[in-house]
Structure 1
Amino acid sequence: MAPGDALPALPAFLALLGALLPVSEAQVHLALGDRRLDSRSTITYHGDSLSAKTVLEGKAEEEGSQQLTCAVMLGNQSLETRRSVTIYSFPAPNLTLSEPEVSEGTEVMVECQARAEAVVTLSGVPAGPPGPRVQFLLNASAEDNGRSFSCSAALEVAGQVLQKNRTRELRVLYGPWLDERDCPGNWTWKEGSQQTLRCQARGNPSPHLNCSREKDGALLPIGNLSCVTRNLSGTYVCRAISSRGELIREVSVMVLYSDHQNIVAIVVVTILATLGAVGSAAYVYNRQRKIKKYKLQEAQKATTMKLNTQATPP
């Protein structure tokens, strides 16, 4: 019987007697079988009616169907009514891990157990023959860290199926992880763009991560939104360290940029080189022309002198 339920015939009985005597003078007695429950009963009066509540704490030997009796006496009149109630014991199932915290690669026994009449199921385990106990052996891996196990027990009582659950979490200790998914090995960005450098090491306990450039030890600003500059370029060594070990990974950062000053300088140098080449060619050409002219003049002089010599008589 649920607390607060009205008992048949009592309202009419109290209404009839309430016209003659105050209902507050009524005496109420509750009993479960032969056991009196008066010490745990609470009587509440509502005008010409009353309600009685009690806390039932069944004993092991009382499990099963029992008679709950409510007797009311007012003046020289009395009335008694009975209800059938079911006493049962159904604690939450026991869910145990052979070790709640283990190192990676350790075998862990997971067990779910309830009272003999119950049927239990354990999350993540293939269904087997129905029964009050389920076990399975797990070889703990890093992926099992934080894994939650749920044990559910079902018990049928008086035609109703009752359920209770219990959960436990497994902690797996493992060394640092730092792969392509956690920390890309190559980053290429445009100069001036806003970027967040994401590199995160996994592990239990959580590892400390540090990324420094090989050539000068400059730190990579991991996790901060910042403006990309060409000074960020380089190869960095990322170290993830915890009490479970150390892992090293190289990360390359390339910054794409266009240098207008260098382009202008290259153009200027090219023009100067071109002008220098043209000047040198002109100088050589003029020199060769002068040499040819001088040689021609000398040849003409020699010819003239020879002719004059031949023309003079002996």
Structure 2
Amino acid sequence: MRLQPTITYNDDSLLAKAWVKGKVEEEGVQYLTCAVNLGGQSRRSQESVTIYSFPAPNLTLSQPEVSEWTTVNVECEAQAGAVVTLNGAPARPPGPRAQLQLNASAEDNGRSFFCSAALEVAEQVVHKHQTRELRVLYGPRLNERDCLGNWTWQEGSQQTLRCQAWGNPTPKLNCSRKEDGALLPIGDLRPVKREVAGTYQCRATSTCGEVTREVVINVIYHQNNMAIVIPVASVIILGTVGAAAYIYNYQRKIQKYELQKARKAQEEAAMKLSTPATPP
């Protein structure tokens, strides 16, 4: 095999470069000879070179996009003589093939599978890699961690309301108050106003389904003190006046009764004095 070098001159030296394009039948140890003729003299140097073919491993998923709880087969395969490793695969004797099987869940969405192949060439280990990603379709998620069901704030405070739905594809979230349909003020509340208080119904929908969640917002605020004092004072005054009137009427009734009783006694005494005595 004769090479076509590219020669570069530099003062009293020269550099020759050539690409070695080996064929399958030429794989293995080959010898390269460099010969230089100058001024009637010849110099020759020889080195060995190992020609090999080592493509990247073949990493395949039975389905790159699946619905939740679908069985997925992952397989990594390289050429004979190579040793492959596949992340997540069960331990097996070293070889050119590795595989694993999983029941896809929402947590597997976006999971990357990494396959590495190693081949020993001329007492050196050469590595090639391949990566694939799995997409898992699953319905909306709207749980306590991402959308708290009960919020209690002080009026005028600075708060942030968070409510986020998860899913693949990304669900659409709509939250409205049951009483009047007002939208849930997701985000910064600066400041909190009593008008946001109420019970909201949140609904997350996508092509994979829907889920609902109730969110309650409580706002603590101080009422006008005069608005409280005046009704209370009125009740106290009315109660006092009523009690005094009752006592006064009760005492008048007692006095009237005593007078009537004394008058009756006097009348009875007068009648006894005016009645003539019976003769013996």
TM-score w.r.t. the length of structure 2 is 0.88
- Are residues 1:152 and 2:116 paired? yes
Shift in Å, 1:218: 0.9
RMSD of aligned C-alpha atoms?
Answer: 2.5
- For residues 178 and 197 of structure 1, the distance between their equivalents in structure 2, rounded to whole angstroms, comes to 15
Closer/same/farther in 2, CA of residues 280 and 120 from structure 1, 3 Å limit: same
SS of alignment partner, residue 227 of structure 1: coil
Question: 2:243 corresponds to which residue?
Answer: 281
Q: Which amino acid aligns with 1:201?
A: A
Paired residues of 2:88 and 2:100 also in contact (CA < 8 A) = no
Paired residues of 1:98 and 1:108 also in contact (CA < 8 A) = yes
1:186-225 paired onto structure 2 within 5 Å = 186-225=150-189
Paired residues of 1:209 and 1:238 also in contact (CA < 8 A) = yes
- For residues 298 and 214 of structure 1, the distance between their equivalents in structure 2, rounded to whole angstroms, comes to 70
Per-residue CA distance 1:20-47 (angstroms, 9 max, x = gap): xxxxxxxxxxxxxxx1111xx2211110
Q: Which amino acid aligns with 1:188?
A: T
Question: 1:64 corresponds to which residue?
Answer: 28
Per-residue CA distance 1:64-90 (angstroms, 9 max, x = gap): 111001111224322211111111111
- For residues 235 and 295 of structure 1, the distance between their equivalents in structure 2, rounded to whole angstroms, comes to 64
Paired residues of 2:199 and 2:215 also in contact (CA < 8 A) = yes
1:115-134 paired onto structure 2 within 5 Å = 115-134=79-98
Paired residues of 1:43 and 1:53 also in contact (CA < 8 A) = yes
Closer/same/farther in 2, CA of residues 171 and 295 from structure 1, 3 Å limit: closer
Paired residues of 2:90 and 2:100 also in contact (CA < 8 A) = no
Closer/same/farther in 2, CA of residues 191 and 86 from structure 1, 3 Å limit: same
SS of alignment partner, residue 245 of structure 2: helix
Paired residues of 1:121 and 1:127 also in contact (CA < 8 A) = no
Q: Which amino acid aligns with 1:110?
A: V
Structure 1, unmatched stretches of 5+, are 1-34
Question: 1:175 corresponds to which residue?
Answer: 139
Shift in Å, 1:301: 7.4
Shift in Å, 1:280: 2.4
Closer/same/farther in 2, CA of residues 290 and 130 from structure 1, 3 Å limit: closer
1:48-127 paired onto structure 2 within 5 Å = 48-127=12-91
Question: 2:106 corresponds to which residue?
Answer: 142
- For residues 252 and 99 of structure 2, the distance between their equivalents in structure 1, rounded to whole angstroms, comes to 110
SS of alignment partner, residue 124 of structure 1: coil
- For residues 298 and 98 of structure 1, the distance between their equivalents in structure 2, rounded to whole angstroms, comes to 112
TM-score w.r.t. the length of structure 1 is 0.79
- For residues 301 and 163 of structure 1, the distance between their equivalents in structure 2, rounded to whole angstroms, comes to 130
- For residues 49 and 233 of structure 2, the distance between their equivalents in structure 1, rounded to whole angstroms, comes to 108
SS of alignment partner, residue 20 of structure 2: coil
- For residues 140 and 294 of structure 1, the distance between their equivalents in structure 2, rounded to whole angstroms, comes to 97
Closer/same/farther in 2, CA of residues 281 and 185 from structure 1, 3 Å limit: closer
- For residues 60 and 153 of structure 1, the distance between their equivalents in structure 2, rounded to whole angstroms, comes to 20
Closer/same/farther in 2, CA of residues 287 and 157 from structure 1, 3 Å limit: same
- For residues 70 and 255 of structure 2, the distance between their equivalents in structure 1, rounded to whole angstroms, comes to 102
Closer/same/farther in 2, CA of residues 288 and 100 from structure 1, 3 Å limit: closer
- For residues 254 and 45 of structure 1, the distance between their equivalents in structure 2, rounded to whole angstroms, comes to 85
Paired residues of 2:56 and 2:129 also in contact (CA < 8 A) = yes
How many pairs are equivalent?
274
Shift in Å, 1:142: 1.0
Shift in Å, 1:288: 4.5
Per-residue CA distance 1:108-128 (angstroms, 9 max, x = gap): 111111110100000111221
Return 196-205 or 269-278, whichever deviates more.
Answer: 269-278
- For residues 163 and 127 of structure 1, the distance between their equivalents in structure 2, rounded to whole angstroms, comes to 20
- For residues 122 and 297 of structure 1, the distance between their equivalents in structure 2, rounded to whole angstroms, comes to 114
- Are residues 1:268 and 2:227 paired? no
Return 291-300 or 190-199, whichever deviates more.
Answer: 291-300
Closer/same/farther in 2, CA of residues 46 and 186 from structure 1, 3 Å limit: same
- For residues 243 and 186 of structure 2, the distance between their equivalents in structure 1, rounded to whole angstroms, comes to 58
Shift in Å, 1:247: 1.0
